[in-house]
Chain A
Amino acid sequence: MYLDANIPEGPLEEKWINYRSKMNLVAPNNKRRINIIVVGSGLAGASAAATLGELGYNVKCFTFHDSARRAHSIAAQGGINAAKNYQNDGDSVYRLFYDTIKGGDYRSREANVYRLAEVSTEIIDQCVAQGVPFAREYGGLLANRSFGGVQVSRTFYARGQTGQQLLLGAYQALARQTSLGTVQMYPRHEMLDLVVIDGKARGIIARNLLTGALERHAAHCVVMATGGYGNVYYLSTNAMGCNVTAAWRAVKRGALMANPCYVQIHPTCIPVSGDYQSKLTLMSESLRNDGRVWVPKKKEDVEAIRNGQLKPTQLSEEDRDYFLERRYPAFGNLVPRDVASRASKAMCDEGHGVNISGLAVYLDFADAIKRYGQSEAGSRGISSPDEDTIMRLGEGVIEKRYGNLFEMYEKITGEDPYKTPMKIYPAIHYTMGGLWVDYNLETNIPGLFALGECNFSDHGANRLGASALMQGLADGYFIIPYTIGQFLSGEIRTPAIDPDLSEFKEAERDTRTRLERLMNVNGSQSVESFHRRLGLTMWDFCGMSRSAEGLTNAKEVVRSLRDEFWNDVYVPGKSDQFNPELEKAARVADFMELGEMMIEDAKHREESCGGHFREEYQTGEGEALRNDDDFAYVAAWQWLDGKDSILHKEALHFDNVELKTRSYK
């Protein structure tokens, strides 16, 4: 299959402007007659549904949550990037574009990323107007902070709750359209199939989660904004409900999945404390500004710490290995996410991990507390302060910076991070891969669009901090409202699609059969237990570091686990009622298939880039080794039931940036 990305001609900085000006439009009187289905109500979905409603289309918006405000975009902490250059520090659209391309390890599309950087400034304006309480300077103007991997200050934030505030902005815009009647909300509805008629996406089958009833919803096109698939690993920083089902149903109907193996692993999460653990909690990247990462040098110290005979604070400096500072003297504790994660894993693999499971490293603030305490004492004019005073003052400074994070850490672990170093470990955080889309954000199925984390388009093999919120809102507010016209302008003569067409009935029947099959297995193991096993396999073999041998093995494991699932899963209750276990079962069934495709993708990509690290492809010092000659392409996979997936390639062209090796030494 030839994948045409439909990238407009012309110089990079004029592509979007020119394209937008010449795009096909749908006249207002026709918009009223056109129906659009939006699946998902997070940043991308809510912003798209609200904007399309404002434009005059008839929009139906679906979410499996009880309210649009619960989507997991709400949990994003740090901020949102925009090339405003308010700080006068040399930022520009080009620089944001360049940072994003480089951060993504040169595996994303130039034209898409440039457009993202271009519209980033409009997002901030829009959100401010909606009432998002972004942090301000004393003079009343917008404040910025800096984030990992860049040299300018371009991140806008609302305390540690930027995602929440942006989502509430979009949610309120959506509420406004709902009250005006342009958008109809379908909360507690889960998309369980895509309906394709004559090759075009024309509707969905949704399950009313309260009653269990299957509903047929028809429209002229379908927009998916259903988030990422990090929960394939069971343990991740994703919400419990995050799933791939809607996207995977599209894949089963012929949509292509691009770069599924690109997964972001965040280095600073609270480690797993036991086998009952249900999810992992992220501690903001900003902690690495002041925290030093270390493990004990000697194995006997590790042993003593694990047994509780030794406290980390008792260990002398020479018995500690500050491994990030040792390995990457230039960047130290501030190396990018993927590099830091891999280094921590390597130390734990060598047996230096510090908690009972052996999977944790220390993030220590003692030095920072001391340093800040001394300078604070100095600035207060306290001469020769004693140890206690220094610690007290230093803790005050740290509290001002990270108070809420320290509090959260203590709530979860019961340990006081002011007195003893934090324990951290990497965890699955974001998925760069997703449905393949062209420049219009349209998948290979005409009339099916994918936005936000659900698509693959902008982050390449690694996403920079504070860019996920930017992409979700860019897609929803400023890109899809235009590009959807390219498709819909050809549909103005298409009457409303009839949900009683045979394709709808067939899709509904398929869905019903699938659900009944799940109910009827009546085996002996819970959905949860299968999910945990799948997650563990994925984490061990398709997680932070991958090898051909491990992946080959994992593929077999996942396949047999899938067979076991369909033969021995037990789902309580009935399908025609409120049944959270059935919802989970249907999602895990889809993860089982996605997992295989991810493994396939990871295996075929014989290079290391961004979040994808293949053990066979590393430098002598253990750094990632990219292969631009053979792998500078998007790997888009086509699923075939019962067979191996088929690979389609979209070559990536870099006309505006030079491909370089990232070095942080």
Chain B
Amino acid sequence: MSLTGLFLILFLIVHLTINFTVVFNDDGMLFGELVHMMESSPLIKVISYVLYLSILLHIIQAYLLYLQNRKAKGQKYKISTRANATFASKNMTLLGSLILIFLIIHLLDFFYGLKISHTLPEEALYDEVIHVYKKPGYVVLYTVSMIFLALHLSQGFQSAFQTLGLNHRKYTPIIKFLGLVYSIIIPLGFAIIPVYVYFFK
């Protein structure tokens, strides 16, 4: 979980960097260039397969653990107050599942046309993005999903380090702080894009 999670965390940075160029007022010039670069680089191709595998592993492992843990938990408490436990930490599977639903919609929107059915040519991607983000329902869906992602990341970031045993009296507080910053900035960045497009493009 932790290794795949950390890889996905890295991926999100790259993903956001590219996406953010959508908001530039250059009619998608830079965005188009970056997309082209990603599509043509063999190295990126390899990494993308690692990414698919990571996502798949992350999901499968999550559900397997969920099932195991549910079995280990035994009977439910009548009164349950998990002290010290954040909402996100207790609901990682739920949050992950919601993100998965979003992911499927998201992939159907762009990835399917671009990579599988080839109905969406690379050059038309920018226009498609603008087109989709002009629909209010999509804007809401994207924004809300990013809240789920934020929560998921807020637990996942430092949790990955804990699971890998990377803790240290001096550095763990820094990791926790970075995790917080990351889990706010990345989803916020993703959420800004459709909102910006909807109102200003």
Tell me if chains A and B make direct contact, with any CB pair below 8 A: no
Query: Could you tell me which B residues sit within 8 Å of A by CB distance?
Result: none
